[in-house]
């Protein structure tokens, strides 16, 4: 029996916000694995702001997705055919499987996961690149330590909720910047952030002055733009700004807005540093063990927003840029 694969291929380079017509939705037979390959039935696909960057034809930390290529995405699935003795049919694995129902791939980038230990979606959120980004960005790049005032933007997003909770666990005063009352209430009441700032209704610069009167020690930036400037205006001496992303700028058709007050770095002897989580791959195990412990102790909560059906991909993906998701946005294809 020949299985049929449905998939989204990149059809055009988006200009501004991604449109349905930037993808083609096609079907093709599922390829049989060759030696050293497996075929994975994809169960959950991770939707990440970074995917927008991969669609641009620019030099970056990974090559752009080519026109005609299946849209790149991280995912978790179950092996249905294997030509690698280290992987058995029935094993669950994470990897870069793309926005498709079946992926026939080499086993080099695969990681086995255990759905009995934690639910599969958590392997794409707290225990996936999302959680690793929060962990290493905050603790390694940001060097957050007990007593620091930590501010995170995109605080209701997948990375943001992890950053804020890890900061609390480490003894930091933690302030989240998020869009809308519901997200702000969620991060304070459910996740224990010390304060939330609703950028849609508040003057962020002034609110930061109120909530961080001694200045910000670590600013974890997911959004860029005016919120980055507001943080720069409120730095403590020797502050660290962690550049994780700039979702407010990804769909610009003009160059991103640079922070006009970057000389605050000089005045406050502060630094602004970028990172790419894949550089920490060798230390993922260490972070995962610590985070699984925090989850077991009830200190670290995962939250996923799961939308069903591969066909919804273009619309579901846009929720990220409209700020509609709280926590990790996932596409569910099958159980």
Establish if 224 lies at the interface with its own copies (CB under 8 A): yes
Smaller CB separation from its own copies, 62 or 117:
62
User: Rule CB under 8 A: is residue 265 a binding residue for its own copies?
Assistant: yes
Of these, 205, 271, 301, 319, which contacts its own copies (CB under 8 A)? 271
Q: Restricting to residues 57-76, name those near its own copies by CB under 8 A.
A: 59-61
- Minimum CB distance to its own copies smaller for 163 or for 244: 244
- Burial class from Cβ neighbours inside 10 Å (0-12, 13-18, 19+) for residue 294 reads middle
Among 253, 255, 298, 322, binds its own copies (CB under 8 A): 255
Classify residue 114 by burial, with Cβ atoms within 10 Å: 0-12, 13-18, 19+.
Answer: exposed
Residue 2 binds its own copies, judged by CB under 8 A = no
The reply to whether 245 sits near its own copies by the rule CB under 8 A is: yes
Contact between 25 and its own copies (CB under 8 A)?
A: no
Give 186 or 250: the residue with its C-beta nearer to its own copies. Answer: 250
β-pairing, 271-274 vs 23-29, is: unpaired
Among 269, 285, 296, 312, binds its own copies (CB under 8 A): 269
The single residue among 26, 169, 180, 262 that binds its own copies, judged by CB under 8 A, is: 262
Shortest gap between Cβ of 241 and its own copies (angstroms)?
9
Using the minimum distance from each CB to its own copies, give the nearer residue, 33 or 225: 225
Residue 244 in contact with its own copies, rule: CB under 8 A: yes
Is 275 a binding residue for its own copies by CB under 8 A? The answer is yes
Cβ at position 231, least distance to its own copies in Å:
13
Considering the rule CB under 8 A, would residue 26 count as an interface residue with its own copies? Answer: no
The contact set with its own copies (CB under 8 A) reads 59-61, 224, 229, 243-246, 249, 255-276, 279
């Amino acid at each position: 029996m020949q299985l049929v694969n449905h998939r989204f291929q990149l059809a055009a380079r988006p200009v501004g916000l991604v449109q349905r017509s930037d993808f083609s939705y096609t079907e093709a037979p599922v390829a049989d694995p060759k030696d050293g390959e497996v075929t994975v039935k994809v169960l959950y696909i991770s939707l990440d702001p970074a995917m927008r960057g991969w669609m641009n034809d620019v030099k970056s930390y990974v090559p752009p997705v080519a026109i005609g290529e299946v849209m790149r995405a991280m995912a978790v699935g179950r092996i249905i055919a294997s030509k690698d003795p280290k992987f058995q049919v029935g094993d669950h694995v994470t990897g870069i499987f793309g926005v498709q129902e079946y992926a026939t791939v080499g086993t080099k980038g695969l990681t086995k996961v255990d759905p009995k230990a934690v639910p599969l979606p958590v392997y794409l959120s707290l225990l996936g690149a999302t959680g690793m980004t929060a962990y290493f960005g905050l603790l390694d790049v940001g060097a957050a330590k007990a007593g620091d005032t930590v501010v995170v933007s995109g605080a209701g997003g997948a990375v943001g909720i992890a950053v804020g909770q890890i900061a609390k666990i480490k003894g930091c005063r933690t302030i989240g910047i998020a869009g809308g009352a519901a997200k702000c209430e969620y991060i304070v009441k459910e996740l224990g952030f010390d304060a939330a700032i609703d950028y849609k209704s508040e003057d962020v610069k002034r609110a930061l002055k109120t909530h961080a009167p001694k200045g910000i020690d670590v600013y974890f930036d997911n959004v860029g733009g005016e919120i980055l400037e507001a943080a720069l205006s409120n730095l403590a001496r020797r502050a660290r700004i962690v550049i994780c992303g700039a979702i407010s700028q990804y769909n610009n058709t003009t160059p991103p807005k640079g922070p006009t007050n970057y000389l605050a770095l000089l005045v406050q002897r502060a630094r602004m540093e970028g990172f790419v989580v894949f550089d920490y791959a060798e230390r993922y195990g260490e972070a995962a063990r610590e985070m699984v412990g925090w989850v077991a102790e009830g200190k670290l909560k995962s939250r996923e927003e799961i939308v069903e059906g591969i066909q919804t991909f273009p619309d579901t993906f846009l929720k990220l840029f409209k700020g509609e998701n709280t926590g990790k946005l996932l596409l569910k294809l099958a159980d």
